[in-house]
Structure 1
Amino acid sequence: MSETDRSRPRRRRPLRRVAGGLLVLCAVIGYCVAQRDSSGGGAPYCTASAPGTAVGSSDGDAVRTYEMTPEQAANAATIAAVGISKGLPDRAVTIALATAMQESALRNLDHGDRDSLGLFQQRPSQGWGTPAQIQDPVYSAGIFYDRLVEVKGYTRLPLTVAAQRVQLSGFPQAYAKHEPDATVLTAAFGEGATGATLSCSGPAPKPGDPEKVRAALARDFGKEATVAAVAAGQSGAQAGARAGAGSDARAGGAGDVLVVRPKADGGPGRERRARAVAHWAVARSSQLGISGVAYDRADWTAGKDRGRWKQREAKADVPGAAPGEVRISVGR
């Protein structure tokens, strides 16, 4: 056998190693996907989805999605809730969300350019508030909206123009790239198209405290979403069936359910607020230990159904949430 013949197997070994490595990589990817798609498996993540034409698709029925961490989803929920509590239109919420996406990637940062801080990278030296105030998502979102509404005709302006007149950024065009994703998020929290949702997957969170959920609702939504009743020791469906409008049952024991009835205004506004509360509860489930949400004959259960909303079959003995009502389950 010649030296050339002996060398051929050696030249093939790198190819074998590459092929073997690819097989291992594919197996790892497949495992991760399976874990993520399994019920309650994988790292927590949240997805907003809304019907419409997806980017690069000619299918008018395609669904657009935006994926984020639970931290980002919780901050987005607060930004949307504050806008809705102020009675502002969806356009204002979209502008605020796109701005926060650009400035902080929807994270409540404790640093930034010069003295910039928080979700919107607001600067204490420029009159936005104290560092502590700016790092409060409710405050920072609120002052952003306050300055946005001072921009004449902001709802008719291009998003980049409206955002820039508030932020005075050195890169004003950067806001534009976030508008499609911000629109999807707004659809889930706001009036949006039918079928727009926000869902969160991953393991069920540790049990929370109903009073902390009540307090968080009051901070984010104010009087727009009040807890009408708290029923203890029941499933969401049972509590919804038995807790009356005049009930003032206190939380206690496992399976506490907060019955939330947003402020009525005789129009579609109540439905919008209820929708926002339902998706707010899902987005903040990891932070607040929320185990389930019921809204409009649909249920979301932490750690189950791949983190997606599931339509409930109508049953006489287990009714769904009343129109404009949300039931939030919190275990102890």
Structure 2
Amino acid sequence: MRFRWFVALGLVAAVALVAMTLRDRTPMRSEFCVAEVGTVRAQIDLEQGQWSALMAAIAQRRGLPPRATTIAIATAFQESKIHNIDYGDRDSLGLFQQRPSQGWGTSAQVNDPHYSIGAFYDALVKVKGYGSMEITKAAQKVQRSAFPGAYAQHEDYARALASTLRGYSPAKFTCQINPTGGGSLTAVTRDVTKAFGEIAVTTNRDEASYPLSGTPADVKARGWAIAHYLVGNASTLGISTVTFGNRQWDAAGSDQGWTPRSGVDSDTVRVSTN
């Protein structure tokens, strides 16, 4: 009897070892986000995707044109590579390397992406004619950099990211991630509200829905802006699926990007964390 017990324990251990070995051999994907518009393929890392998406959302919430988003992304590319860093030249900090000593806010504030992006837009809208100005000139009016021509090198990527993240290039922004699970719908809806402002949302146990209304063109652009934002934050928020129109993004199959799905639901963005 004791021998049988040891055999059973041995079999259980062997099965567990095989499972662990197979798990450990599961290849990890490289993680990145990409915006494809025309001939431009703007590939960036996950953090860059997260903050670029936030720049687009805050601009939309404020009613700013896509041009403002392009300028913000191009500026952050040059200043921090769109990383929220806690160091820089002298007292420069954050996405835009804003200096507390120059009146941009406290150190804690300029290291808060929501605050720093808002502060950048506050300064940008004071630049007369920024909407028709060369991107590098508009950025320089805000930043007063020692290298004013440097912003131009990021214009193509910034335009592609702004076009997709503001919803004008549908299903053209995606992120490839390694799913971690454990996301919370409450955290997702709280994050979306903080980024976009109050948006109608309904939730059940494992899905949140954002029904949109307005003209078809407006619904399409706003819907894709929200959908792309969710994908850009999928890794940090534990999002498993995002759907809009006749397209779906799945964390598990994120290497496939946006894939067709049956049926049409053009006026509602859906997100799940299960």
TM-score computed with the length of structure 1 as normaliser: 0.71
Indicate the residue corresponding to 1:16 in structure 2. Answer: none
Aligned-partner Cα distance in 1 for 2:27–2:128: 47
Maintained 8 Å contact 2:84/2:94: yes
Q: Which of 61, 66, 83 is residue 85 of structure 1 equivalent to?
A: 61
Q: Which of 184, 195, 202 is residue 220 of structure 1 equivalent to?
A: 195
Map 1:259-270 to 2 at 5 A: 259-262=209-212, 264=213, 266=215, 268-270=217-219
Identity fraction in percent: 40
Indicate the residue corresponding to 2:265 in structure 1. Answer: 321
Q: Does 2:133 correspond to 1:148?
A: no
Give the letter aligned to residue 32 of structure 2.
Answer: Y
Maintained 8 Å contact 1:81/1:280: yes
Q: Deviations over 1:186-229 (max 9, x none)?
A: 11112434x55111113212221111111111111112x34x21
Aligned-partner Cα distance in 2 for 1:205–1:67: 22
Q: Structure 1: 5+ residue runs without aligned partners? A: 1-38, 55-63, 233-255, 315-319
Call closer, same or farther: CA 1:41–1:126 in 2, change over 3 Å: same
Aligned-partner Cα distance in 1 for 2:202–2:224: 18
The SS at the match of 1:76 is helix
Indicate the residue corresponding to 1:276 in structure 2. Answer: 225
Map 1:50-199 to 2 at 5 A: 50=37, 52=38, 54=39, 64-193=40-169, 195=170, 197-199=172-174
Aligned-partner Cα distance in 1 for 2:29–2:167: 31
Runs of 4+ in structure 1 off by over 3 angstroms are 264-270
Maintained 8 Å contact 1:116/1:124: yes
Q: Deviations over 1:251-280 (max 9, x none)?
A: xxxxx1110135x45574343222111001
**Offset at residue 41 of structure 1 (A):** 3.9
Maintained 8 Å contact 2:182/2:273: yes
Aligned-partner Cα distance in 2 for 1:292–1:204: 11
Q: Does 2:43 correspond to 1:45?
A: no
Indicate the residue corresponding to 1:289 in structure 2. Answer: 238
Aligned-partner Cα distance in 2 for 1:207–1:297: 26
Maintained 8 Å contact 1:94/1:182: yes
**Offset at residue 139 of structure 1 (A):** 1.1
Aligned-partner Cα distance in 1 for 2:113–2:211: 24
Moved more, 205-214 or 94-103: 205-214
Indicate the residue corresponding to 1:21 in structure 2. Answer: none
Q: Which of 167, 172, 176 is residue 201 of structure 1 equivalent to?
A: 176
Aligned-partner Cα distance in 2 for 1:151–1:192: 25
Maintained 8 Å contact 1:187/1:196: no
How many residues align? The count is 249
The SS at the match of 2:174 is strand
Maintained 8 Å contact 1:207/1:291: no
Q: Structure 2: 5+ residue runs without aligned partners? A: 1-25
